[in-house]
């Protein structure tokens, strides 16, 4: 199978780098307006015009911005189309490109370091063998979760798509607090980043769940419990729950 990526931007570039590690570089084609972006990626089969690339590929990965997609007119009727575009439905992609076989996905930012999480849904025409290929593509830059209903892509968007921002926000708050408590800006940054990244590495070891780790560091009557009890009393769980619901609603509103 020859895979053609349209758009070598932030996400497309990261996906290209992952794909050429996993598949034969001979099978990976990329198109971007910018020859500079193609050169920076060291692309072997690069194109600046999408119509030059399409005849060579079986699978098309749509990595352009949703607003750009509205302006492109492509006939992808004989391709397996995999979109990473936020908010463009399976039906809109099929209607706009003539493709019968469509996958809609939502990768997240850590895909850029090979640690992404991609939620995806396929329409009824995508075969089991094609789904295996889709999984291989997504696991080249992290983990993947297939969902059966398209509405779940909005849910995944609010959870793992936005998830890195929740983590960055907490990191930012810890850093700001360290500053107000008298640490230097370098020290504050080191404290916040090392603490959260270190904790994330512990989770990655998979020996305990997040809840188990939290309980392990929360001795009764101790310092951590003082902070966590305050969060619980102030209903941080309810606020966080509502925040995710707001993201789901926004994802549904923006869907085209
Ligand atoms: N960034 C994320 O964390 C993230 C996460 C999940 C999903 N996504 C989705 O990923 C998609 C890409 O996002 P991004 O941040 O990577 O965007 P980006 O950096 O703007 O990349 C898109 C690239 O596609 C090029 N392009 C646009 N139209 C083209 C065409 N007709 N032929 C060839 N190249 C074309 C653009 O070139 P020009 O700039 O010259 O137009 C640009 O280099 C979006 O749909 C977004 O919703 C992103």
Read off the pLDDT of residues 18-42 as tens digits, 9 standing for 90 and up.
999 999 999 999 999 999 999 999 9
In CATH, 3-148 is 3.40.50.720:
yes
Looking at residues 85-89, what average pLDDT do you find? 94
Which residue, judged by its Cα, is nearest atom 18 of ligand 1?
A: 9
Q: Is 106 annotated as a binding residue?
A: no
Q: Is 95 annotated as a binding residue?
A: no
**pLDDT for res 173:** 98
Under 8 Å between Cβ of 164 and 136: no
Superfamily of the domain at 163-254: ProC C-terminal domain-like (1.10.3730.10)
- Mutation test of ligand 1: which of 51, 63, 71 has the most ligand atoms closer than 8 Å to its C-beta? 63
Looking at residues 166-176, what average pLDDT do you find? 98
What average pLDDT does the structure give for the chain?
96
Residue 50 banded pLDDT, cuts 50, 70, 90: very high
**pLDDT for res 36:** 95
Would you kindly state where each structural domain of the chain is located, as residue ranges? 3-148, 163-254
Looking at residues 44-56, what average pLDDT do you find? 96
Q: Is 110 in the pocket of ligand 1 (CB under 6 A)?
A: no
Is the pLDDT confidence value at 114 over 90?
yes
User: Which residue in 36, 19, 37 sits closest to 28, CA to CA?
Assistant: 19
Residue 206 banded pLDDT, cuts 50, 70, 90: confident
**pLDDT for res 254:** 86
Q: Is 119 annotated as a binding residue?
A: no
> In CATH terms, are 3-148 and 163-254 the same topology?
no
Q: What percentage of the chain exceeds 90 in pLDDT?
A: 96
**pLDDT for res 255:** 80
């Amino acid at each position: 199978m020859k895979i053609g990526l349209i758009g070598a931007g932030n996400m497309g570039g990261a996906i290209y780098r992952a794909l050429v590690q996993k598949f034969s570089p001979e099978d990976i084609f990329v198109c971007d307006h910018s020859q500079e972006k193609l050169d920076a990626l060291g692309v072997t089969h690069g194109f600046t015009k999408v119509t030059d690339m399409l005849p060579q590929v079986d699978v098309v990965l749509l990595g352009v911005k949703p607003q750009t997609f509205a302006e492109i007119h492509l006939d992808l009727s004989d391709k397996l189309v995999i979109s990473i575009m936020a908010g463009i439905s399976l039906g809109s992609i099929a209607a706009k490109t003539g493709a019968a076989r469509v996958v809609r996905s939502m990768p997240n930012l850590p895909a850029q370091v090979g640690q992404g999480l991609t939620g995806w849904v396929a329409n009824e025409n995508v075969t089991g063998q094609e789904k295996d290929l889709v999984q291989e593509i997504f696991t080249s830059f992290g983990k993947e979760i297939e969902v059966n209903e398209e509405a779940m892509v909005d849910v995944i968007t609010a959870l793992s798509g936005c998830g890195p921002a929740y983590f960055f926000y907490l990191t930012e708050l810890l850093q700001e607090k360290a500053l107000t408590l008298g640490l230097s800006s370098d020290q504050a940054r080191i404290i916040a980043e090392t603490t959260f990244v270190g904790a994330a590495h512990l989770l990655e070891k998979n020996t305990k769940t997040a809840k188990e780790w939290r309980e392990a560091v929360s001795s009764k009557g101790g310092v951590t419990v003082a902070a966590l009890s305050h969060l619980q009393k102030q209903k941080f769980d309810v606020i966080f729950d509502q925040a995710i619901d707001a993201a789901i609603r926004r994802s549904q509103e923006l869907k085209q």
